Amino acid sequence: MPVALKKEGLLLSCLLALISSCCIAFGIYSDKYYVCVFPIAALLIWAAFHDYKIVYFLLLFSIPFSVQFSIGTVSIDLPSEPLMICLLIITVILLIKNRDADFSFLKHPITFLLLAHFLWMVLISFFSVNPLHSVKYLLSKTWYIASCYFFTCLLLQKIGDFRRIFWLMFIPFLILMIYTIIRHQQLGFEFETSNLPMNPFFINHVMYSTALAVFFPFVIFAYRNKIYNHNIFRNLVLGLGIILFLFAIGFSYTRASWLALPVGLLVYFIVKKNLLKISLMLCGITLTASLIYLSWNYRYMAYAPIYLKTIFHKGDIHGHLKATYNMQDASGMERLYRWVAAKRMVEDKPFFGSGPSTFYPEYQSYTLHSFHTYVSDNKEKSSTHNYFLMVLCEQGVIGFLLFSSIAVMLLLIGSRLYNSSHDAQFRNLAMACTIALVILYFHLTLNDQIETDKVGSLFFITMAVLVKLDQWSKQKPEERLTTN
């Protein structure tokens, strides 16, 4: 499958994507929503007739700039999701008609597990407590997987192709960080206003910092990559990018992201010493022992918050951190409130779960008043604040095991590739993917951002990159295409 794209076409696609994003932002800002339709339609028609791969490049460039738009009870991210739908159609056509395309990734164990997980979600949707919500979820999951996993696997034919993916996402992130930092500076870099500067592109500071933290290892990879050793300008841009990423994550005031970066650094040394398997076993044993300890004789009830002492902070980051340490922070205690409800949901529906995308409002009938906090009314209609637990609640034990198997296998593949390959680019990219996934998993223990276009797309793209690296590692060195 040819993947070469002329520089002129690449620049034009970036320009059109930027114009499209501006039109959409203007349409939402001015309440003239019809403005959003025209650039998307024009882009898709132009790209489809010119070169369908441009649709994919447009998607990559538009993901950081996408804006959530609600139509009644349906939410859609523009322009990213229409582009994903377009890529879904293109992928189906390629699967049916283009026999010259490289579909070898379909035989990879990760692809099997991913499809098995998806088919399981289809099955349990028939038993969902809210089939309509589950069907909506399945539709969006379909075009996420098709565009970000399947199409990435189709497009990646050599490591050099990853460079296009990186730059088409790095540049928008760079622009948005500068935009956010300038706006936050005007607000005095206050903790109280940390949810405002990144609007309308990110709905809150948590999504913003999560996306930056997950993408950050790839910025390090690009900076260390020997391809750029003699390009001063690119090294300067990437060096500036590293500083901006750290600064932006720092002033996002997101505790999970602050902790995730040191965890990522720790994983670097664990993988480097080839200790990942032992570390995963120790984590599994510790988690299992903790769950048994807390469940035995209802010990978890001892951690119920004292309602009047639970603190909801708006403007004091120091008090916020102190309350977190003392287990008096409202957001932290609210997590316990929902996790206890999730535990009871699992006990009630262990096999099929409640169905995809049904945790809210289903969990409310399983809550314990002892864990009630000031924010338990959940006006934001947010979910479990632990994606693994949410999968267990909504998809049952089998869905949880399938997703967990994918998560663990990806880490093992990344570690094996790093320790077995003699190619520097292979090793560094495998390491970047592994650290990015660990940072994502760390965030998923405290939120469910994987269901958003910005974080979810990074997950499936990273998965695709690791699968392709694994396939290339089995080829002879002379068969690999490691250059442009």
Answer whether 66's CB lies under 8 Å from 77's CB.
yes
Give counts: helices (H), strands (E), the chain: 18, 2
Residue 348: CA atoms inside 13 Å, Cβ hemisphere, count?
A: 16
Answer whether 319's CB lies under 8 Å from 95's CB.
no
CB atoms within 10 A of CB 481: 12
- In angstroms, the Cα distances linking 458 to 56, 205, 350 are 14, 17, 30
Pull the structure tokens for residue 243.
């500083």
Amino acid at 232: I
With 60 as the cut, is the pLDDT of residue 341 above it? yes
CA gap 302, 315 in Å, rounded: 29
Percent of the chain residues past pLDDT 90, beyond the cut: 42
Q: Is 215 left (phi over 0), alpha (psi -120 to 50) or beta?
A: alpha
- In angstroms, the Cα distances linking 13 to 9, 10, 19, 86, 455 are 6, 5, 10, 16, 22
Higher pLDDT, 378 or 132: 132
Is residue 373 classed as helix, strand or coil in its secondary structure? coil
pLDDT digits (tens, 9 = 90+) for 237-288: 999 999 999 999 999 888 889 999 999 999 999 999 999 999 999 998 998 8
Least confident residue range of 199-208, 334-343, 420-429, 463-472: 334-343
pLDDT digits (tens, 9 = 90+) for 378-387: 676 777 888 9
**What are the structural domain ranges in the chain?**
1-101, 102-484
With 60 as the cut, is the pLDDT of residue 392 above it? yes
Higher pLDDT, 5 or 114: 114
- In angstroms, the Cα distances linking 286 to 144, 181, 274, 369, 415 are 33, 39, 20, 28, 21
